[in-house]
Amino acid sequence: MPATAVALGNFDGVHKGHQMLIRECVAAAKEKGLQPSVFTFTNHPVNEIAGRVVIKNIMTFEEKAEQLEMLGVENLFSPVFDDFIRTKSARAFVEDILIDRFHTKHAVCGFNYHFGYKAEGDADRMQQLGKDLGYSVTVVPEICINGNTVSSTLIRQVIDEGRLDEYTDYTGRLYCIDGKVVQGRHLGRRIGFPTVNLSLDSTEAFPRNGVYITLSTVDHKKYHSITNVGNKPTVGEFAKNAETHIFNFSGDLYGQDVRIEFIKMLRPERKFDNLEDLQQEIHKNCLQAKDFFETYKED
């Protein structure tokens, strides 16, 4: 395997801090004649150690890989975090994995990076080991936006609170969910607002229940839309899902892949006294969304 420059981290969300780190790795690789690479895990170490989902994923592994490739990463090293890796000392992690297996000549990590058994290693330790073992290291400082240090924890908080207009500030793109359209109860169609339904994975971070202005991509074409995320309390209590009403679209999408991009929240989800009140509110929300799109500029 050729010598590599390796960016180290979890990279969940691939936010602007991650992007700065990856660009630093790609630039160093070009300067030193190395292959730009990323070392991460297919599972989250915290969840593996806890034996349950403690930290929800911001994006799927496939979405993460897609974003990293777009940033210029050529090799993605993504083993499962297991006892073999968990019990390695900081030095053994570098020697056995980064150097022996991936031929690392340059490493790039964030200011808060930790590695090795019980997270004993940090950015300073990575630099010390580099001097001992013959590889160079770049430590990327924190990046602040809107007075906040950009982190995956911050991104999860933004999603959880439904502040998806801020998600774009921290990542440079719209929050999105991908999935196959599943059968619903056809309630939307009965009240005049047919929807496509996407089931949601409980291991992923999803927005606060509410109604959002969205863009829906079907067969590589984008449509204006409105999406309700929640449990549909007016008609019962159901598993959390995403129901999207696509403007100016007709057709059967069951089983097809759809991408829903979230722009901003219109209102939190709430229970209405009857279906007529719900119908009137949906009509109002559709008008609000259409007014918004009158001046919205898509990238």
CATH of the domain at 211: 2.40.30.30
Q: 140 and 21, same structural domain?
A: yes
For residue 165, is it within any domain?
no
CATH number of the domain within which 17 lies = 3.40.50.620
The total number of structural domains in the chain stands at 2
Q: 49 and 179, same structural domain?
A: no
Contact 58, 158 (CB under 8 A): no
For residue 167, is it within any domain?
no
For residue 43, is it within any domain?
yes
Q: 143 and 18, same structural domain?
A: yes
What confidence tens digit (pLDDT) does each residue in 114-123 have?
999 999 999 9
Give this prediction's pTM: 0.89
Listed residue (231, 175, 233, 241) closest to 202, CA to CA: 241
Regarding beta strands 175-182 and 196-199, do their DSSP bridges make them parallel or antiparallel, or are they unpaired? antiparallel
User: What whole-number distance in Å separates Cα of residue 100 and Cα of residue 94?
Assistant: 8
Q: What percent of the chain has pLDDT over 90?
A: 71
Q: 250 and 144, same structural domain?
A: no
DSSP E strands in the chain: the ranges are: 4-8, 35-39, 75-77, 104-110, 136-140, 144-145, 148-149, 175-182, 196-199, 210-218, 221-230, 241-246, 257-268
Q: 10 and 128, same structural domain?
A: yes
CA 112 and chain centroid, separation: 20
For residue 144, is it within any domain?
yes
For residue 20, is it within any domain?
yes
- How many helices (H) and strands (E) would you count in the chain? 10, 13
Q: 23 and 125, same structural domain?
A: yes
- The pLDDT confidence band at residue 185, using thresholds 50, 70 and 90, is low
Q: 186 and 140, same structural domain?
A: no
Q: 181 and 98, same structural domain?
A: no
For residue 46, is it within any domain?
yes
Distances (CA, A) of 88 to 10, 104, 143, 200: 18, 18, 30, 35
Phi, psi of 211 (to 5 degrees): -105, 130
Q: 109 and 203, same structural domain?
A: no
User: What whole-number distance in Å separates Cα of residue 111 and Cα of residue 118?
Assistant: 18
What confidence tens digit (pLDDT) does each residue in 34-53 have?
999 999 999 998 888 888 98
Domain that holds residue 194: 174-295
Q: 193 and 139, same structural domain?
A: no
Domain boundary residue, one of 116, 149, 182: 149
Q: Is the pLDDT of residue 194 over 70?
A: yes
**Residues, the chain, total?**
299
Q: 131 and 20, same structural domain?
A: yes
What confidence tens digit (pLDDT) does each residue in 277-294 have?
888 898 999 999 999 999
Q: 136 and 52, same structural domain?
A: yes
Q: What is the pLDDT of residue 298?
A: 77
